[in-house]
Every structure is written in C-alpha cells, then in structure tokens.
Chain A
Amino acid sequence: MVDVTPADAVPPAEVAEMELYHPHSWWTKYVFSQDAKVIAIQYSGTATAIGLVALVLSWLMRLQLGFPGTFDFITPEAYYQFITMHGMIMVIYLLTALFLGGFGNYLIPLMVGARDMVFPYVNMLSYWIYLLAVLVLVSSFFAPGGPTGAGWTLYPPQAIMTGTPGGQEWGIILMLVSLILFIIGFTMGGLNYVVTVLQARTRGMTMMRLPLTVWGIFTATVMALLAFPALFVACVMMLLDRALGTSFFMPAVVEMGEQLQHNGGSPILFQHLFWFFGHPEVYIVALPAFGIVSDLISTHARKNIFGYRMMVWAIVGIGALSFVVWAHHMYVSGMHPYFGFFFATTTLIIAIPTAIKVYNWVLTLWRGDIHLTIPMLFAMAFIVTFVNGGLTGLFLGNVVVDVPLSDTMFVVAHFHMVMGVAPILVIFGAIYHWYPKVTGRMLNETLGRFHFWVTFLGAYLIFFPMHYIGLMGVPRRYAEMTDVTVMTESAHHLNSFISIMAFIVGFAQIVFLFNLIWSIRHGREAGGNPWRATTLEWQTPQTPPAHGNFGKELPIVYRWAYDYSVPGAKEDFIPQNMPGTFGPSREPA
C-alpha cells in the first residue's frame, strides 16, 4: 500500500538542467534543427514519403498476381525488384524509422519530462544520415539495371549473381551501402533514446512510473543497438564479396555454365547473421507498438492498464528471448536439423509473455468506460490482427509444422498480419491520438472513421484468405502462379479479389494523407489535453509544445501514468504531475 511519494523523497534527475541550443535562423529552427520534436517530424515525413513508394510497389505486385499476363511491363525481373524494395522499405525505412525516429523522438523527451534528447546535435545528424540512406536507396531505381531483386532477405549467392536483377550491376551495391548508412544513422539516434530514458527523466519519474510507450520504445532501441551490428557486418562482408571478389558467403559456384572464382564461403552464415538481426527486428517494430497500444487502450477506456508490472516484464522478457529464436526462420535452410528442437522450444516459449500482453489489453477493457474514439478503434483492430498473426506464428514456429508451410504464401500472410498490418494500425491510432498535440488541432472525424473501417476490414480480407493459398502449397515469391498445379482456378479468383482489396485499402491511405494535411489548418481546435490523459506530454504549457517542452520549470512526477478513474478523485484522470492523494492509491510499487 504505497501512498504518493513526496517529491523531495524521490531521486532527482542525475543530469543538471540541460543547456539548449537556441536556433537563430529559419534554417536552424526547421531544417538543421536540434529539437527532437522537429527531428521527429522530419523522420516521420521522410518515412511516410518512402513508405508511399513501397505502397505503390505493392500495387504493382498485386496487379501481376491478381491479373497475371495482363501487364507486360511487369516482367519477372521487375516483379522481383518490386517485392525486394517493398519489403526492405516497409520493414526498415518505414516501420523502424517511424517508430523509433518518429515516435521515439517526439514522445521520449516529453513523456519522461526532459527538455530534449541528451545529445541534440547527434540526434540531428541521425536524421540527416537516415535521409542520405533513403536517397541512396531511391537512387537504385535510376541506376543501370535498376534496384536489386534479391528479395528483402538478400540471400547470397543469388543476391550478387547474374541471374538476379541488380546482382552484377548497381542494385545490390546501393542497397548494401544504404543499409550501412541507415545503421550508422540509427545508432546515433538510438544511443540518444537510451541515454535520455536512463539519465534525463524528471524528478519523480522512476523507471516503474514510465508510460508503457516509453518502455516499448526504450526496449526496442536497446535491442536494435544489439541487433543491427549483425546486419552491418553481413552487409560489409557481402559488399566485399560483390565488389572485391572475396568469399565470405560465396562457395565455389557455377554461374550460367561458368566457374566463378569464389571458394570456401558459407551462404548459411549470412542467413544466421541476417536473422540474428532479422528476428529481433520483428520485435523492434512490435514492442513500440505494444507500448503505444497499451497507452491508447488505457487512456480511451479510462482505466489503468491491467497488470502494469507484468506488462513491463513481458516487454523486457520478449526483448531478451527474441535474441535466441532467430533460426526459426531457417528450419528448412539446411542448417543442422537438431537446431530445430532448440529453436522451436524457444519460439513457442516467447508466445507466453506475448499472450500475457494480449490478455492484459483485453482485461483493461473489462469494467472500463470505453470511449469508441478513432485511436481506440485502431487499438482494437490491432488486437484482432495481432492475435491472428501471432497465432499463425505458432504454426511456423513449431518446426515440423513449418516444413510444409515455409516459403509459401502462408508465411507472407502471417508476417503481413503480425508485423505489417498490426503495427501500422497502431501507428494510425497513435497519429490520431497525438496529432492534436503536434498540431494543436484534431484530425477530421468522418474521414478518420472512413479510413479506419476501410483499412481494418480491407487488410483483414487481404491477408486472412491468403493463408489458405499458402496452405494449398503455393510458394511465395512467384512472379507467376499460373503454372503451379496445386493453384486451382478458384484460387486465382481469390488472388484477383485480394488484389482489388489491396487497391481499395491503398486508396484509403490517400484519404488519410489528405486528412493529415487538411486538418493542420482546418481541424477542430484541440486544446492542450483533448483526451484528458495523464502522461506528461499532455501537460505542457503550450500546444504544440515549444522548444524545451515544459516552459520555465520541469514537471515533477508524483504518480504512475495510469491513474484513471481513481476512486475518490473528482476527475476520471489524474495527471502524473499532480500532487496529492485521492483515496488509497494502488500504484504498483
């Protein structure tokens, strides 16, 4: 039974009040800005722009799959370039950049009660290197031979051989250079997020009072700092194999009847390095989504998140476990078959903390006061798609079940549901939730509801039936499925249906973008705290928050982030920086 801790008893922030760099010109205020909030907008804008490219690529792929033979310009070569760039952009340049660079930058300092990131200059560099990485990636569309078509997993030897688009041209080189740049840029940002959470929290903001959004982003960042180096190494080695003819990943091979000079390299080593990064990457995207959705549900159900401590430990536990499951992507890779026993066991164990999170989200709704706002709708849509995609993960994680299903459309349906649709629904919910803080105005409600229904139902109709095409045995990454005998006539019609849904869902995103721009000027005035939320970002003196976030005095935190509907309190929420006791506080100690 812990009462509210008096302010003078809590440890003060360990760093002195930071000296902020004050911009003198338009350029340093809006372009080369060191304000985390401006950097967040820059990250988000760039990620959205490149994400639109990936959206268009997915349309082109669906044109080919839904209506094979109709569009002559989509050759197999072009198709493989589309899938590769679509996948890489969505996973790295959109999702990772938006969650960590976008939401991380905007929310961490505000939510922990800091004036800015701890290293604002490095933070600025992080964005500009990210932008450079994006530009290098885009340049591959205009390079001779076009972008790489090696698949987003870039498996050697084919990634750097002639039979693959861009393999012996510029495509693969630009891809690898872009990834290396991205990792350098991310590391600069990532160190900032971690140090800021650990060192710059305001007085009273203990780790166990952090909103789960911060816990999610913080843990994901720590993971990314540990996982990305594996990808970095893999990229450097493959670049050497391609450019200098070394043999890290290249065994002796025959290319179109000709012996190449490579010898002794291991293609499977690349896969281990790639997935040592690649699996944590799934959770690097998922954990921020977990954190954010917890806060959306709690705020809009006017109820504390159920089992906060369990939620924190589940995030940390999932983060740690996700480093020992990577080879479940490689059950049929030809690695030693006994690995299957170990990785299937670890993979199914990780389902337990993940399930706990799901239970705690829905139990938060239980006896809540559920406001069906757009963020809440997106949060519930997230739960549906995440549970669906997570459960199909139990098929693919269970080694022997994976054997018939791996490399089929079942896998495509699974990972789109669980790490494509689900996190993006959270991103949408989060944008509807925090847009009023960023701009001072609400997004248009009618357009928002249209966007929600089309996106949620459309995405479910795309990816749920797709599992069954995979169950039939149709492989993924087939530019043409017409010659596959297990693919029935009716399944081709299903493919056409999926394609049509993809265009409709894509169209709804254009409506969303219109809403984002239109509402900046025409949205309803939001006020400082339209959702009546408890966390610090809603308690800033100005909306949008000025440089330095909190005016003259940093807030002091007296309570956890989830004091909603506290018995005895007049309002149904108590901001974290409000002192005083309201009946028996049951904040978990």
Chain B
Amino acid sequence: MPIVVVLVLIVLGSVLFHFLSPWWWTPIASNWDYIDNTIIITFWITGVVFAAVVLFMAYCVFRFRHREGSRAAYEPENRRLEWWLTIVTGVGVTAMLVPGLFVWSRFVNVPSDATVVEVVGQQWQWSFRLPGKDGKLGTSDTRDVTAENPLGVIAKDPNGQDDVVVEAADLHLPVGKPVKMLLRSIDVLHDFYVPEFRAKMDMIPGSVTYFWFTPTKTGTFQVLCAELCGQGHPMMHGIVMVDTQEDYVAWLDQQQTFAQLSAPQQTGSAEQAPGNATVSALKVAAKLETVGSR
C-alpha cells in the first residue's frame, strides 16, 4: 500500500513544485513570448496526462491489489477503447504541434526590416561585426584569419572596409528593432545563447547560421555558449547591452572600422612554426588564463 500513497504524493508534489518553487524562467526581454506561450500550453497538456496516468495507476493498485482468493479479469483487448485513446492522444499531440509549427515559421522567416549583426565565436570569446554606412557586411573566410584580422574579413572586398569590428568586447543593440544575428565560428562549434532572448543557434566553422529577434527591454544581458567547445566552454561569456537609440548611436560612434583597425600593419604577422602537442597545450593554458581573468 505505501506505493499508492507514494504515487499520489508524486503527482501532488510535482504539481506543487511546479507552481510554488522559485525556479522558473528568467523574465523575457525579446519578442519570443510566443515561445513561452507554447511552453505553457505544453506544460498544461503534459501535466494533465502525467497526473491522469499516475493517479489511474494508483487507483488500480488500491482497488485491484491482491487479496486472498481474488482473481483477475480476462480481457485480451478492447478495440473501441484502444481506438478512442489513440484519437484523444492524436488530438493532444496536434494541440501542441500546430502552435509550435506556427511559431517556428515566424522564427525562421526574418522580417525584411531587420538589421544585421555578425557574431563570430572562437575559443573562448565572442566578437562582433556590424555593417558600416553602406549597410552591407563584407565577405569573410576563415583562411584570412590572422592576428591583425581576427574575424577573417576579406580585405579585397570593398563592402568590408567600413564594417564595424568589435573584438572580444560587449555588443550593443538598439531596443525595439528587429535584428538578424548572422553566426559564424573560426574554430569549433559554439552556440550564441542569451536566456532572456529565448533564442539560440549553433555556430559552425565554414557556414553562416542565423536567428532573429527584437530586443524589447533595455539592460545588460549575459551571453552564454551553449554548445560544448572545449575546456573553456563554461567560461565563454559575453555581454549584450540593449540600449535606447541615443545610447546606441553614441556607442556606435566610438567603434572602429575594419579599415581603421587594419591600417597600421597591412603585412601579415610571421607565422608561428606548427606546434607539437606541448606547445599547443601551453597555448590552451594561456588562452584559458586570459578568458578566466576577464
């Protein structure tokens, strides 16, 4: 009999925990409250099913537990009941899937007025690039990455000269404007994730991925890497500051363009000799040191 009590307590405890515990999502700061709503729908449907199945089981144990001389019924199948349950399940599943797909189509279709920001991940820091006055980002290639050109902007592309480059520093965004994040990596997989924005996407070396959102609140938000990227992964933080339009413009004016950054030294640095494992390990340690100290 303890099992009956425990099954009931599991349902009650889980429901109470859900509603009363202090652990819940952080307040949203983007337009993706559609996603939050879909999660709420899913919580309700799945919560009801969980409670129903476990409580039904508890009742069965209570009612049909073995007693002296009791005997089970013999009922191999019940076609009607089985079909009925299948249909109800199908309806429940549809009730979650349809809103989900509807919101997904919004998520993947970027509004035409969205501005573009490029995020570049590397072990273990975030850099950013914004289009200059021409409104276009210059093309880039991992093969062009050097110490002076950390994002691998292709120097010959005229569109890239006025691009604003923010290396390993905070990104600022204006509030209320849709923004398309173009995501790129120069070494391993990373994932640009700000919990308050609800959106995230992996970054893949050799590809450009994207997501879009509209920041709806000003403030400072932490960027987390959400795809395992080596031993510095948990330290790969960044900052996004959502500003009012004036603050944003003020910040933007202080940033340097690709042309300005690459002016002093146009010649590439001397390539280091290909390191053996020990040299590489030392570099990893040095890299982690700098990430840890920020």
Residue-wise interface mask of B (56-75) relative to A, using a CB-CB cutoff of 8 A (1 in contact, 0 not): 11001100111000111111
A311 to B193, CA, bound (A): 41
B155 lies within 8 A of chain A by Cβ: no
In the complex, residue of chain B having the shortest beta-carbon distance to the beta carbon of A399: B104
Residue-wise interface mask of A (292-332) relative to B, using a CB-CB cutoff of 8 A (1 in contact, 0 not): 00000000011110111110000000000000000000001
Given contacts A162-B283, A344-B100, contact A258 B199 (CB under 8 A): no
In the complex, residue of chain B having the shortest beta-carbon distance to the beta carbon of A405: B39
A281 lies within 8 A of chain B by Cβ: no
A488 lies within 8 A of chain B by Cβ: yes
Check B187 against A255 for contact (C-beta < 8 Å): yes
Q: Determine, out of B157-165, B254-262, B273-281, the stretch whose residues face the partner at the interface.
A: B273-281
Check A365 against B64 for contact (C-beta < 8 Å): yes
Check B101 against A369 for contact (C-beta < 8 Å): no
Given contacts A155-B189, A483-B237, contact A348 B97 (CB under 8 A): yes
Check A588 against B77 for contact (C-beta < 8 Å): yes
Q: How many A-B residue pairs have CB under 8 A?
A: 351
Residue-wise interface mask of B (1-40) relative to A, using a CB-CB cutoff of 8 A (1 in contact, 0 not): 0010011001000100100011111100000101100110
What are the residues of chain A within 8 A of B22 when measuring CB–CB?
488, 490
In the complex, residue of chain A having the shortest beta-carbon distance to the beta carbon of B49: A391
A567 lies within 8 A of chain B by Cβ: yes
Tell me the minimal C-beta distance from A487 to chain B in angstroms: 10
What are the residues of chain B within 8 A of A157 when measuring CB–CB?
187-189, 205
B142 lies within 8 A of chain A by Cβ: yes
In the complex, residue of chain B having the shortest beta-carbon distance to the beta carbon of A266: B206
A210 lies within 8 A of chain B by Cβ: no
Q: Determine, out of B111-119, B128-136, B222-230, B245-253, the stretch whose residues face the partner at the interface.
A: B222-230
A136 lies within 8 A of chain B by Cβ: no
Contact of B230 among A161, A334, A406, A457 (CB under 8 A): A161
Residue-wise interface mask of B (93-110) relative to A, using a CB-CB cutoff of 8 A (1 in contact, 0 not): 100110011011101100
Check A158 against B97 for contact (C-beta < 8 Å): no
A6 lies within 8 A of chain B by Cβ: no
Interface residues on A, range: 35 or more
A80 lies within 8 A of chain B by Cβ: yes
What are the residues of chain B within 8 A of A168 when measuring CB–CB?
277, 280
B217 lies within 8 A of chain A by Cβ: no
Check A80 against B231 for contact (C-beta < 8 Å): yes
B42 lies within 8 A of chain A by Cβ: yes
B284 lies within 8 A of chain A by Cβ: yes
Interface residues on B, range: 35 or more
Interface of chain A residues 522 through 571 with chain B (CB within 8 A): 562, 564-567
Q: Determine, out of A116-124, A232-240, A377-385, A502-510, the stretch whose residues face the partner at the interface.
A: A377-385
Check A372 against B61 for contact (C-beta < 8 Å): yes
Contact of A403 among B73, B196, B200 (CB under 8 A): B200
What are the residues of chain A within 8 A of B177 when measuring CB–CB?
none
Check A387 against B35 for contact (C-beta < 8 Å): no
Given contacts A267-B206, A384-B54, A400-B100, contact A465 B17 (CB under 8 A): yes
Contact of A401 among B35, B49, B188, B195 (CB under 8 A): B35
Check B77 against A332 for contact (C-beta < 8 Å): no
Tell me the minimal C-beta distance from B57 to chain A in angstroms: 5
Contact of B108 among A259, A310, A338, A391 (CB under 8 A): A338
What are the residues of chain B within 8 A of A384 when measuring CB–CB?
7, 10, 54, 57
A195 lies within 8 A of chain B by Cβ: no
In the complex, residue of chain B having the shortest beta-carbon distance to the beta carbon of A161: B188
Tell me the minimal C-beta distance from B39 to chain A in angstroms: 5
Check A368 against B72 for contact (C-beta < 8 Å): yes
B169 lies within 8 A of chain A by Cβ: no
A76 lies within 8 A of chain B by Cβ: yes
Check B54 against A387 for contact (C-beta < 8 Å): yes
Check B60 against A370 for contact (C-beta < 8 Å): yes
Tell me the minimal C-beta distance from A344 to chain B in angstroms: 6
A352 lies within 8 A of chain B by Cβ: yes
Tell me the minimal C-beta distance from A511 to chain B in angstroms: 19
Check B222 against A267 for contact (C-beta < 8 Å): no
Interface of chain B residues 122 through 151 with chain A (CB within 8 A): 122-124, 141-143, 145, 147
Check B228 against A367 for contact (C-beta < 8 Å): no
A128 to B23, CA, bound (A): 48
Tell me the minimal C-beta distance from B47 to chain A in angstroms: 8
Check A256 against B284 for contact (C-beta < 8 Å): yes
A466 to B122, CA, bound (A): 29
Tell me the minimal C-beta distance from B141 to chain A in angstroms: 8
A349 to B101, CA, bound (A): 14
Check A472 against B195 for contact (C-beta < 8 Å): yes
Count chain A CB atoms within 10 A of each CB in B7, B78, B100 and give the residue with the most. B100
B154 lies within 8 A of chain A by Cβ: no
What are the residues of chain A within 8 A of B81 when measuring CB–CB?
363
A266 to B272, CA, bound (A): 27
In the complex, residue of chain B having the shortest beta-carbon distance to the beta carbon of A398: B100
Check B206 against A251 for contact (C-beta < 8 Å): yes
What are the residues of chain B within 8 A of A254 when measuring CB–CB?
122, 142, 145, 186-187
Q: Determine, out of A22-30, A54-62, A437-445, A474-482, the stretch whose residues face the partner at the interface.
A: A474-482
A490 to B3, CA, bound (A): 31
Contact of B198 among A403, A464, A465 (CB under 8 A): A403
Interface of chain A residues 146 through 191 with chain B (CB within 8 A): 149-151, 155, 157-158, 161-165, 167-169
What are the residues of chain A within 8 A of B196 when measuring CB–CB?
473, 486
What are the residues of chain B within 8 A of A366 when measuring CB–CB?
60, 64
Check A401 against B228 for contact (C-beta < 8 Å): no
Check A367 against B101 for contact (C-beta < 8 Å): no
A3 lies within 8 A of chain B by Cβ: no
What are the residues of chain B within 8 A of A567 when measuring CB–CB?
74
A sample of 28 cross-chain residue pairs with beta-carbon separation below 8 angstroms, ordered by A number, consists of A76-B235, A163-B123, A251-B204, A252-B142, A253-B188, A257-B283, A267-B206, A301-B64, A304-B75, A332-B201, A334-B183, A334-B209, A341-B104, A344-B97, A351-B93, A355-B49, A363-B81, A367-B75, A369-B64, A369-B66, A370-B66, A372-B3, A383-B53, A394-B42, A403-B199, A407-B200, A464-B14, A469-B23
| Residues of chain B whose beta carbon lies under 8 Å from any beta carbon of chain A | 3, 6-7, 10, 14, 17, 21-26, 32, 34-35, 38-39, 42, 45-46, 49-50, 53-54, 56-57, 60-61, 64-66, 70-78, 81-82, 85-86, 89-90, 93, 96-97, 100-101, 103-105, 107-108, 122-124, 141-143, 145, 147, 183, 186-189, 191, 193, 195-196, 198-207, 209, 222, 224-235, 237, 271-272, 274-275, 277, 280-281, 283-284, 287
| Apart from the given pairs A151-B228, A162-B280, A307-B82, 7 other A-B contacts in the complex at a CB distance below 8 Å | A251-B204, A307-B78, A395-B42, A404-B200, A468-B17, A562-B76, A587-B76
The 5 closest A-B pairs by CB, nearest first: A473-B195, A251-B206, A163-B230, A334-B209, A158-B188
